[in-house]
Structure formats: structure tokens, C-alpha cells
Chain A
Amino acid sequence: MCLRCLKYLPGMGRVLAGFAGLCLAIALSGCEREQRAFPQPADAKLMPQTLRQSELQPGQPAQPVGRGEHLPPPDYQAKYENNAYAVSQGRRLYRWFNCNGCHANGGGDIGPPLMDDRWIYGGEPADIYTSILHGRPNGMPSFAGHITEDQLWQIVAYVRSMSGQLRIDTAPSRSDNLQPAEPESRRERQDMRQSAPPKEHS
């Protein structure tokens, strides 16, 4: 609250008492309007690199693009992408959460394909995690509140297997359902294109 404003109020005449409430309201709001919060040195740090969604970095030397809000846990590779059990759990969960209803078995349907080299919001583990957790504006729903962190990283690892990003000995090699395509372990690794023309839908 703005105490500098309040100290003038007792000096007002009694005849203005009825007016005072209104004045107080205006004074208070006006006072807040003029208030400035000066950044403390501790708050003045640069925004973290991990929020970046664009390759363009104006006025900066080229740096690796770090994207996504949620960095994978330090043991992500060992615990998820290099672990056949985790990837296979991710595959089951991909179906249980009806991911396949929109992305099919990687070829896409309502949503875009996941087996190709084009990633609208990035194909790094952190990007995929962010897409699933928070959703994306053109149709990707947010699964926040419906899924545990461990399950989510498992799905991320499986999704990356669809475009051949995983070791062949951890990527799934057969389907429990209709065999829709070459097994994930047989797929050629797709280079994740960052300069691909944008798709209009996620």
C-alpha cells in the first residue's frame, strides 16, 4: 500500500468527509499506477537459455539452441532412452493416453506425424516433454494433472524412438497390435530439421 498518499488524508476538512471515500479510492489507485519497481541486482539476470523456441538470437553470438522449459533429469539417457523397459512402458502409455488416436503409430492423423524429421515445437526430449505437459496452441492438449513425471519421460523416450533417435537395442522391435510399419528399432534415424517450413497444426 502507498502510505505516502494516506498521510495527506487527515488534513482534509469534515465537510469533505463524504467525498473522502471516493478520493481515497482514486488516490490509492492513482498512486499504485505511479509506483515503479526498480529491479534489484539479483533479479537482473538474463533469461535462461532453456526457454528459447527460435534459432534467431538477435545481437548474440550463435549459441546452441536450448529449448523447452523442462530439462530432462541428469540420468535421462540411462533411465529412459537407453533403457528398453522404459521405452516399452512409454509405448504402452502412448496408447493408454490415446496419443495414437491423434498421431497414429507415428504417421499422424489429427495431429502431425512423429516418425518424420519435422518438429514444429522441437524434437529434443525437453521440447516433447513441454508439448505433452502444457499442450500447444493449435490443438495439442495439455496432459498436466493427468500423468506422472516418470510416465511422461517414458512417453518422450518412446516418441523419440519413432523417428529412429534411440539405440536399436532399446527401441521397440515388434508391435503388440496390427504391425503398422517397420518396427521402431529398424527405422532410419531422421535428422531433426530445424529449418523445415512450418506446419500449420500441432
Chain B
Amino acid sequence: MSWLPLIAGCWLSFPGLSFANAFAGEKDGEWPMAANNYASTRYSALSDINTANVHTLKPVVTFSTGVNRGHEAAPLVINNTMYIVTPYPNYLYALDLNKPGAPQKWKFDPQPQSAAQGVACCDFVNRGTAYAEGRVFINTLDNQTIAVDAEDGKEIWRTRMGDIKTGETMTMAPLVVNGKVLVGNSGGEFGVRGWLAALDAKSGKELWRAWSTGPDKDVLIGSNFKPYYASDRGKDLGLTTWPGLSWQNGGGNVWGWISFDPALNLIYYGTGNPGPWNPEQRPGDNKWTAGIFARNPDTGEARWFYQFSPHDLHDYDAINENILIDAPVKGRERKLLIRPERNGYIYVLDRTTGQVLSADPFVRVTTSAGVDLKSGRIRYNPAKEPRVGETIRDICPVSPGAKDWQPSSYSPRTGLIYIPHQNMCQDAQSYNVSYIAGTPYVGSDTRMYAGPGGNLGVMTAWDPLSRKKKWDVREPFPVWSGTLATAGDLVFYGTMEGWFKAVDAQTGKLLWQFKTGSGIVGQPISYRGPDRRQYIAVLSGVGGWAGALVSGELDARDATAAKGFANAVKTLPAHTTRGGMLYVFALP
């Protein structure tokens, strides 16, 4: 197992610390899943490209995807082949890295329903593919999970998981665990009931489905469910924490990231916002939305749950990445889960029990005043609670949160987490909204703007153990791309204007940048090519919620366009145009 030397290396460089952070990890410089490994570190052990030579980095391969919407996916690299999935219409490309220029090996067109474009809340994005045993797995916007032969691009199976007529879509990157393809749905702005399902990687047969609301039997809560906090214990909380039958349209969609700890045999994933946004239409804690589940991947049964935002007030989905590291906390070795959360706090959880060990704000937060570690509950600020007919101002963080889906990385060499995120606040006024199946179910007018300092975006390096910010880089626009940390002590990320940047992992100093054709909202990766050289790759192509103004050609004269995001980024059309393109970089 190739991660053993890595751990040994970490042990040597940090005696007294142990980081078993590369579960399953990369095989000789491959990038086999969106997060590179089950611990979701997005860390590359390759160091050919480093702080001393990165200034000579040059583009060596480009590839147009032919799609104009937001390219949020991470390319995968397996067996010297690169796999790229595009936003709707969800083309899947295989590029042959063995040949000069990495020409197209095959293209798979899943032909999703065009009407799906009308029910995708925030641009019709796709966050990546998954790979296992010669198969590539994709989710399509119209709710199909498809297995494709990695060698020839032929379809092996496809399973329909949901129905666009209710407003349901799929945008998340699947994860393959123990021969099961784990997939979840989107639709939190359409009152779609959330779920995570496991499909047999061989046949595509659905093995289990865990709903995010409803009775315990639907949520797969049984006798092994041992949440750490009392507020998560009790029978059928997915029913009783909702008024009437509103749990049926209650959201809690699973459109973000899944991590896996093989030793504990537990998967970790978050649930999205409850529906509608207007909280006065759903009094109660609204379980099991806006929280994190630990489940057994083989049966789906829940082990523990923690709710970051009970009775969510501001669309604080809890679907962000979960970084799994082992480190001592207060002198005691712990299995940790680090979660930079949308509500503005970085949580450090014990991933065996779900106990919150710390929760520290990493942006300006006005909507709450900390987290009570005893009860686990966040302390909401009543002044910022939405009330129908009243404009609530200076809500920080905004609805897309202190950070949204865009994933952080973690370097075991620096011990830091590199968080791409927003610095934004908003005014909002809620109203009562009717549920009409297949139409948006939100009930809030929102306009967003920059937080203190005037910059919309930040790249923050955070030490999860000392619980302090090490450094940050301010960006004019939200940093809506993922980050990549490498053993060359570099951190790569992209900006919405289109700059692809490498900064020093220790100091944040800008060491190299390259202007790509469009704004970057994708996830950078690194791999070793067949020529044994290290490469860095990223998809350029602005869009997503943050870039919908450009990718959807919206009109920012209406401050509520794109649910208020257009107002914050209204100058973006002067800085970038849309268009999907892969860029691959190498040393000369």
C-alpha cells in the first residue's frame, strides 16, 4: 500500500503526531476519486513541482468540453487515462495521456432530459465522476446513475434514481465504497425530500436508500444509532420535528461530499437545507436536515448524527467536505473529522462518536454566537432570525455560507487546511410560499454583498489543532474552486476571473499564476503521467451559483437574481466569459 511511506514520512517530520490520513489513497500518482482519497484530503504526495520551480510551470494540454455552464468537477486519472464529466448535458470524456496532446479516447453522451435544466437550482453543474474496477460512474442532471466501461466508453448499466417532475436532480460526485456506488439527490430549493442510496457497482441494483426526513425506518435509524447529543435521540424525530406532513417536502438533500473510514467502516456525509428557506413555515428542529450522518456503508444504517444548523434559518446546507485525520486533542489521540461549515464555523468532531470537540468561526458571523459544546447546539442570534414581511439586514454569513460545496484540502506536511470560501453578508426578506411540485419552494428574497474589507472571496489556511488561522489570501470574487495541496508545499486554487494560482503552503505567498479562458470553479488535481512527470490539471468554465450571472446570462439590475448572488458579483461579466476548458500544466 503506497500510503504507508507517506504516513511514515509524516511521522518523521512531525514526531509526536500521527496522521493516518490517506486511507485507500492514490496508486502511484493517480487521482482515483474527486477527493483523491477516502479521507478527502485532496493532497498529492507528488513533489516534483515545488516552491522552488513552480514559477516555470507551463500549460501543456488543453481540451474544450463544448459546454458553457459551470465546470465544478474534478478530473480523475486512472491507468494513464483522464476522465472528465461536464455540466448538463453531462458528457463524459476519456483522454489518452499516453499520446502527445492527450487526445480524446472516447466520449459518452448519456442524453439526459433537456427539461432537467428547468429544475436545477444553481446552474446545471456536476461535481465529478467515480471509478472502480474498470468502470466510471456518473450522475446525470435528470437523476440517472450510469456505469461506463473505462476502456471503451460503452454503457454497462444505468439506474433511474429520481424524477425531475418533482424538481429533483443529481449533481454530486458518486463515491464507491465496498463495491457500492453511493449517490444522493439535489433539490433543496424545490422541496425535494433528500436521500443517499447505495447501488451495486456490478449490476446497478439499488441496495439501500436512507432518506433524510420521515420515520426512522425510512432514515435507516435502528438499534445501532447512537448520537452523541440528547437532542438527536428519540423515536421518529424525522417526523416529530416537523409540522404535519411538511417533512415530505422537507429537503435535506445529499448533494455534497462523502468520506469513508475503512477501519471504522463508516461513511460520513452531510444533509442539505430544509425546505422551504422561510423557517416560519416549518417550526421545529427539522431533522435530519443541515447535519451530518455516520452510516455503515454495507447496510446504510445510521451510527450517529449531528445537526450543525437545527431549524436552519438561512439556507445553511451542511453538505461540505469532511476531512478525516488522526491527531491528538488535549493530549489524547483522536480520530477526527474536520468540517469547515457553511454556518461560519470550523468544526472538529470525534468521528467515532459524533462529539463536537471544537467549533470556531473562520469568518464574520452575525447569525449566531458560538456553539455550546455541552449540548452541541449552535446559539442563534434572534435579531437575525427571518420574520415574514421584515427585511433582516447584515446576515453573515450569506445563504451560500461562509463556504459552500467548494472543497478544502489538507497537507500532512504543514498540518493546515486550505479553505476556499466567501466573505459575504446579505439582506433578506422571507414570505410564505406555496408548495407546487416541480417549482421552486424557497420563500425568501435575498440580496448579497461583500463582507468586511470589500473582498468577496478568501483562501484561508487554518490550523485545526491550534484552532487558528495561519494566513489568508483575499480575492475580489468568491473562491468557488476547490483547493489542492501537494508535497511540493504548494496550494493550487482558481479564481472566478480565471486566474489559476499556486501559493506557498506555509505562507500563502503567490508563486505562480496563469490566466485561463474562463473563471475557475472546478477542483484542481495532480497526477504522475506515463512519462513519470508530475502534472497539475483543472477545469476552467465559470458558473455554479456564484457564476450563474455569467453562465446563465442573468441581469444583475435585479438584486435578487440568482437568489441574490448576482448582486454581489455584478461586475463579474466584465472580468470573464463562459466556456468549459481543461488545462494541464507541467514543468518545462
Contacts and interface: CB of A to CB of B under 8 A. Distances in A.
A binds B: yes
Interface of A: 95-98, 101-102, 104-113, 115-116, 118, 137-141, 146, 177-178, 180-182, 199-202
A104 B431 contact: no
B221 interface: no
Interface string B409-451: 0000000000000000001110101101011111001110000
Given A97-B436, A109-B548, A113-B553, 13 more contacts: A101-B189, A104-B560, A107-B561, A107-B562, A110-B440, A112-B553, A113-B558, A115-B558, A139-B114, A139-B117, A139-B118, A178-B429, A180-B558
Contact of A180 (B118, B445, B548): B445
Interface residues of B, number: 40
A95 B68 CA distance: 30
A63 to B, nearest CB: 30
Which 4 pairs of residues, A with B, have the shortest CB-CB distance? Answer: A139-B118, A101-B440, A107-B558, A107-B561
B384 to A, nearest CB: 15
Given A98-B433, A111-B118, A141 B558 contact: no
A178 B436 contact: no
Contacts of A138: 114-115, 117-118
Contacts of B441: 98, 101
A179 to B, nearest CB: 8
Nearest to B554: A108
Contacts of B109: none
A200 B68 contact: yes
Nearest to A111: B118
Contact of A139 (B119, B429, B563, B566): B119
Given A108-B554, A180-B445, A199-B553, A101 B560 contact: no
Given A112-B553, A139-B118, A180 B560 contact: yes
Given A106-B558, A199-B553, A140 B439 contact: no
Given A139-B117, A141-B439, A109 B557 contact: no
A96 B189 CA distance: 16
A118 B117 CA distance: 19
A52 B312 CA distance: 49
Contacts of B442: 101
Interface of B: 68, 114-121, 189, 391, 427-429, 431, 433-434, 436, 438-442, 445-447, 548, 552-563, 566
Contacts of A110: 117-121, 440, 552
A70 to B, nearest CB: 21
A180 B438 contact: no
B117 A201 contact: yes
B434 A177 contact: no
Given A107-B555, A110-B119, A180-B560, A98 B445 contact: no
A141 B118 contact: yes
Contacts of B445: 105, 177-178, 180
21 contacts: A96-B434, A98-B441, A101-B440, A101-B441, A102-B118, A102-B440, A105-B561, A107-B556, A107-B558, A107-B561, A108-B553, A113-B554, A113-B555, A113-B561, A138-B118, A139-B117, A177-B429, A177-B445, A178-B429, A181-B560, A201-B117
Nearest to B556: A107
A104 B558 contact: yes
A111 B563 CA distance: 12
A131 to B, nearest CB: 12
A101 to B, nearest CB: 2
